[in-house]
């Protein structure tokens, strides 16, 4: 076996790192946006209470998220909803959790910056990788999504157009007047 010798003042540490990306860099009002958060424990110690916090900025509605774990990590919850994401996780060394977040852009007004932070019960020797941000461009003055018609509405619209055209032709003297 191995003998582990810990010197006085040599407390356990865990370097947690968080990364954040978006697959939707440009979103119009009413459009869907998506973020992915990844937290990794680079060690040297395991953590039993990693805490992730991601507070969505105003202008994002219908926020939903799912958490998946790898390498022996355990998500405190598998899924959730609401603009404030607060999640606990147990993370052995080398383990990671991935949180996929979706929402709807409620308003325009320029770039929307979203930041996530992570911490644990242990000291972190590298605090510079404990937060990450991703930006979504929500252009001010952009047009809202254009509504579309379903097949039934299109059929009714076509039928009405045909009927109005036939009535117009009848008032002008029938089909023969076009020759």
DSSP sequence for 34-56? EEEEEEEEEEES-EEEEEEEEEP
Burial of 112: CB neighbours in 10 Å, binned 0-12, 13-18, 19+: buried
Model confidence pLDDT, tens digit, residues 33-43: 999 999 999 99
Predicted TM-score of the model (pTM):
0.72
Res 29 pLDDT > 70: yes
Strand-pairing partners, residue 38, are 19, 98
Strand-pairing partners, residue 116, are 54, 132
Is the CB of residue 14 less than 8 Å from the CB of residue 45? yes
Res 47 pLDDT > 70: yes
Which residue shows structure tokens 């919850």? 77
């Amino acid at each position: 076996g191995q003998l582990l010798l810990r010197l006085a003042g040599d407390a356990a540490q865990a370097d947690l790192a968080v990364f954040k990306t978006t697959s939707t860099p440009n979103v119009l009002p009413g459009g869907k946006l998506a973020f992915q958060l990844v937290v990794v424990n680079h060690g040297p110690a395991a953590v039993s209470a990693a805490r992730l916090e991601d507070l969505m900025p105003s202008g994002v509605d219908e926020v939903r998220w799912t958490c998946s774990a790898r390498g022996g990590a355990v998500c405190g919850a598998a899924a959730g909803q609401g603009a404030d994401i607060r999640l606990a996780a147990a993370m052995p060394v080398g383990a990671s959790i991935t949180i996929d977040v979706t929402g709807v852009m409620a308003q325009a007004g320029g770039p929307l910056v979203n930041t996530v932070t992570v911490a644990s019960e242990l000291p972190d020797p590298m605090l510079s990788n404990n937060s990450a941000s991703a930006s979504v461009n929500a252009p001010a003055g952009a047009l809202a999504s254009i509504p579309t018609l379903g097949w039934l509405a299109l059929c009714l619209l076509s039928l009405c157009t045909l009927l109005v055209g036939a009535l117009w032709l009848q008032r002008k003297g029938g089909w023969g007047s076009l020759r």
